[in-house]
């Protein structure tokens, strides 16, 4: 297949984790299409909860779904991260100007962003130095109304194009369901955990099996300026996060504790 070349318009790579037929990816294409030419590469089936998994145990296939002026759509039998990798390595000459992922059916706020294939699709773009944004709507319904989400995604995309993004930073955007969204809050990620994550059942042969369900519990209930706080009050949350996961204070702490002074002779004494 011939690689896609950029022309005078920006080139925007679109992906998701709900699959190429999901209503959310069509909404995201609608949101960003005014800003450039689009190449969409999405999983051929739902890949929710895959985080940043990549496929190493089976071959990957790219299939052209549709092509028209300014919009080419492919599907792949891989994860969102696979899709972005394939696009960057096999489909695009050079690199796109932006990577956008979503619009996910369901929230990816707080700790859920670490499980999210949608967020990983955007994160993979940042790995290659490309400004990238993940979008999610707080509605799991396959037929959810994305009209308000489209408007906010478009305005945020406009801000990024006009002002740029800091290298190594990705935006995780969550949008409340419904049409009465109050505006946008730039936040930090709330602390939270998933509890009661499995529903234990018994199959017809008497063997136990488990369905993953779970309930999210915020550990910062009522704390302002977090994504959970903003979303609970009807605001779009925008959380900038970095790819470098280093916790700098621990570097100095470990150095002061003498970790760097441990020698091979000391290891053998243990």
DSSP 250-261: HHHHHHHTTGGG
Buried b (16+ CB within 10 A) or exposed e, 130-151: bbbbbbbbbbeeeebebebbbe
Q: What is the mean pLDDT of residues 18-36?
A: 97
Residue 127 in tokens: 């790995």
The average pLDDT across 229-246 equals 95
Contact by Cβ (8 Å): 133, 163: no
Cα separation, 51 vs 115, whole angstroms: 5
- pLDDT one-digit tens code per residue, 69-113: 999 999 999 999 999 999 999 999 999 999 999 999 999 999 999
Yes or no: domain 11-191+220-269 corresponds to CATH 3.40.50.300? no
Mean per-residue pLDDT over the chain, rounded: 92
> Do the beta carbons of residue 170 and residue 134 sit within 8 Å?
yes
Q: Three-class SS string for 21-52?
A: CCHHHHHHHHHHHHHCEEEEEEECCCCCCCCC
Q: According to the model, what pLDDT value does residue 39 have?
A: 98
What region does 258 belong to: left with phi over 0, alpha with psi -120 to 50, or beta?
Answer: left
Number of neighbours of residue 265 by Cβ within 10 angstroms: 7
CA neighbor of 224 nearest in space, from 240, 235, 208: 235
| Domain residue extents for the chain | 11-191+220-269
pLDDT at residue 270 greater than cutoff 60: no
Give the model's confidence band at 268: pLDDT under 50 very low, under 70 low, under 90 confident, else very high. low
For a pLDDT cut of 70, what percent of the chain falls above it?
95
- pLDDT reading at 251 higher than 80: yes
Report DSSP letters for 133-189, one per residue.
EEEEES---TT---HHHHHHHHHHHHHHHHH---TTEEEEEEE-SSS---EEEE-BP
The pLDDT of residue 259: 85
The model's pLDDT over 173-196, given as tens digits with 9 standing for 90+, comes to: 999 999 899 999 999 999 888 778
Tokens of 141: 């319904």
Band (pLDDT 50/70/90 cuts) for residue 8 is: confident
The pLDDT value recorded for residue 74 is 98
Rounded Cα–Cα distance for residues 235 and 176 (Å): 7
Average pLDDT over residues 196-200: 86
Rounded to whole angstroms, how far apart are CA atoms 89 and 59?
15
Predicted TM-score of the model (pTM):
0.91
> What are the residues whose beta carbons fall under 8 Å from the beta carbon of 124, sequence distance 6 or more?
52, 80, 81, 84, 85, 99, 132
| Mean pLDDT, rounded, for 195-209 | 90
């Amino acid at each position: 297949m011939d690689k896609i070349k950029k022309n005078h318009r920006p080139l925007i790579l679109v992906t998701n984790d709900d699959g190429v037929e999901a209503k959310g990816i069509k909404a995201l294409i609608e949101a960003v299409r005014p800003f450039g030419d689009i190449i969409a590469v999405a999983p051929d089936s739902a890949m929710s909860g895959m985080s940043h998994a990549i496929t190493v145990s089976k071959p990957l296939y790219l299939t052209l779904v549709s092509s028209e002026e300014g919009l080419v759509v492919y599907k792949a039998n891989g994860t969102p991260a696979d899709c972005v990798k394939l696009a960057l390595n096999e489909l695009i000459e050079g690199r796109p100007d932006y990577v956008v992922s979503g619009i996910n059916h369901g929230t990816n706020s707080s700790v859920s962003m670490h499980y999210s294939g949608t967020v990983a699709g955007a994160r993979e773009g940042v790995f290659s130095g490309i400004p990238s944004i993940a979008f999610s709507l707080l509605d799991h319904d396959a037929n959810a109304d994305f009209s308000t989400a489209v408007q906010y995604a478009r305005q945020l995309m406009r801000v990024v194009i006009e002002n740029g993004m800091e290298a190594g930073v990705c935006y995780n955007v969550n949008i409340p369901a419904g049409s009465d969204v109050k505006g946008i809050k730039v936040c930090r990620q709330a602390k939270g955990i998933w509890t009661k994550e499995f529903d234990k059942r018994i199959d017809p042969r008497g063997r136990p099996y488990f369905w993953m369900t779970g309930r999210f519990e915020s550990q910062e209930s009522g704390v302002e300026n977090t994504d959970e706080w903003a979303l609970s009050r009807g605001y779009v949350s925008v959380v900038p996060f970095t790819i470098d996961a280093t916790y700098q204070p621990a570097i100095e702490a470990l150095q002061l504790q003498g970790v760097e002074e441990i020698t091979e002779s000391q290891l053998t004494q243990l």
